[in-house]
Amino acid sequence: MIELYGRANSVNVWKPLWVLEELGQPYERLDAGMEHGVVDTPEYRALNPNGRIPSLRHSGVELWESNSICRYLCMMVGGDARGLYPEEAGARASVDRWLDWQLSTLSPAERDLFWNLVRTPAAKRDMKAVKTAVTNSAACWAILEARLGDGRPFIEGAGFTLADIVLGCFARRWFGPEVRVPGMPDFPRLAAWYGRLGERPGFQKWVAPPLF
């Protein structure tokens, strides 16, 4: 049995949970992080010395870092993992770059938007930081808006891949009602793509519920 540690309202926990649903793999999610604690226990730190979520344990394999966990799950299934993670080197690298881009570019751009509007009491919110985060996040989403401009239904073309899962989790925070503020631009192609993601059972089960 695959064991995945992490709370159900964490964007980084959504990623492997959604992958597991797409792959049809049995798993157990174990609450950890924030109100659940666990992450500072010696046992958990032995699994993940960073004290962060998610972490995975499976058949002697222990992993942390959400995108690495997603890759592992796909490689564990093998082949092209039902289309999520292509075998051909160029196609796989094309998927991988979006996972790296999420870590290096998108996450830092949108962090203050999410943390101020979802994790911070209203009286303590830094609305200047929110405005900056809207601008920086919009610049990132504009890249995907252009990527989808040739009629492709998903990030890598006709097929749904791991890139759609990872970026779709962050799109939930951009399009969700919890973070809507004045000045957020419209991205019609991105919105249509997000709508397609919303039809998938894994998204509906783990990503769609309220963030609070």
88-125 pLDDT tens trace: 999 999 999 999 999 999 999 999 999 999 999 999 99
Q: How many CA atoms lie within 13 A of 172 on its CB side?
A: 25
Does 89-206 carry CATH code 1.20.1050.10?
Answer: yes
Cα-based distances in Å from 163 to 15, 70, 74, 99, 155: 10, 10, 12, 6, 7
Q: How confident is the model at residue 211 (pLDDT cuts 50, 70, 90)?
A: confident
pLDDT digits (tens, 9 = 90+) for 134-187: 999 999 999 999 999 988 999 999 999 999 999 999 999 999 999 989 889 999
Containing H/E element for 64? strand 61-64
pTM for the full predicted model: 0.97
Ordered by start, the domain boundaries in the chain are 2-77, 89-206
The answer to whether domain 2-77 has CATH 2.40.50.100 is no
Token digits of residue 20 = 């597991």
Looking up tokens 């419209």 gives: 186
Contact present, 212 and 179 (Cβ < 8 Å) = no
Contact predicate 166/104, CB 8 Å: no
For residue 44, pLDDT over 90 is answered with: yes
Which tokens belong to 24?
């049809």
Using DSSP's 3-state secondary structure scheme, residue 197 falls into: helix
